[in-house]
Amino acid sequence: MKKSFSGVIATAAVVGCGLFFSTGTASAEVVGLLVLNGGQVTVNATTLSWVGTAITAGSTTLTYGAGIPVGSPVNVTLLGLPAATPLDSFMTFQGIPGLDFTLDVIGPGSGNTDCSAAGLLANSGDCSAFAGSPIVLSQAGTDVEASLALSGTASDGTLPGSTWAGAFDETVNAAQIGLTGTLTPALLQAYFGGPSSPNSNSITTSYSGTFSAVVSAVPEPTTIGMSLLGGSLILLAGIRRRRRS
């Protein structure tokens, strides 16, 4: 990809507190924005693997405990996908062993796998390369935008728990897959084998991302999944509205 893999992928929208059953303030909590820079990620048809560590950016406002700032620069390790969820220790922080981001929801992707111009037109301009893929593809000028929403729970070892959500969003150009001219979602889909025949082709690029953590009274697991899924959908919709405007 031609710039940072803000996810395949970049900058994420902040999810409103109301989505996550926000409670009043507490003496110990994980809350604020986590902004990541640096690192490498390799993406193919079925997996996404982060290489090395990300680094918190200066715009990070995330705090834990009694308002202790995470600060910058701090190395952050991310576990690769796909994975069974909940995935504990999806994001861990060097020097802060008690701070743990668990991944509960990956995606959702688009229900449309027809990445042709007609397929995009009939499905709000979006598609996924394969059925069940959490990565959403859309046209962005002469490039393709690839977006991935992630969400889950965060803890510093004390109560109350927190929920978090973020979306990676990245631009892929034709040169990155050995082509020239305009790259379309259909061409990128074909590069990974088409909707029914995944191959081993991959793209390696740098990444960044922004995530919001909201203090919440952590509900039952099924409620967590449904609320985070709704948050992920709103995140992707917000990103695409902002990008297309």
Render pLDDT for 85-106 as a digit per residue (tens, 0 to 9).
999 999 999 999 999 999 999 9
Q: Is residue 9 part of a domain?
A: no
Q: Per-residue pLDDT averaged across 36-64, rounded?
A: 88
Render pLDDT for 168-200 as a digit per residue (tens, 0 to 9).
778 889 999 999 999 999 999 999 998 988 899
State the SS3 of the chain: CCCCCCCCCCCCCCCCHHHHCECCCCCCCCEEEEEEECCEEEEECCCEEEECCEEECCCCCCEECCCEECCCCCEEEECCECCCCCEEEEEEECCEEEEEEEEEEECCCCCCCCCCHHHHHCCCCEECCCCCCCCEEEEECCEEEEEEEEEEEEECCCCCCEEEEEEEEEEECHHHHCCCCCCCHHHHHHHCCCCCCCCCCEEEEECCEEEEEEEECCCCHHHHHHHHHHHHHHHHHHHHHHHHC
pLDDT exceeds cutoff 70 at 207: yes
pTM of the complete model: 0.76
The tally of domains found in the chain comes to 1
Q: Is residue 65 part of a domain?
A: yes
Q: Per-residue pLDDT averaged across 9-28, rounded?
A: 33
pLDDT exceeds cutoff 60 at 43: yes
Q: Is residue 24 part of a domain?
A: yes
Q: Is residue 21 part of a domain?
A: yes
Q: Is residue 10 part of a domain?
A: no
Q: Which domain holds residue 25?
A: 17-244
pLDDT exceeds cutoff 50 at 16: no
Q: Is residue 37 part of a domain?
A: yes
Distances (CA, A) of 103 to 74, 149, 158: 20, 11, 18
Read off the pLDDT band of 218 (50, 70, 90).
low
Q: Is residue 214 part of a domain?
A: yes
Quote the pLDDT of residue 221. 52
Q: Is residue 190 part of a domain?
A: yes
Tell me if 10 sits within 8 A of 214, measured CB to CB.
no
pLDDT: is 132 or 152 the higher one?
Answer: 152
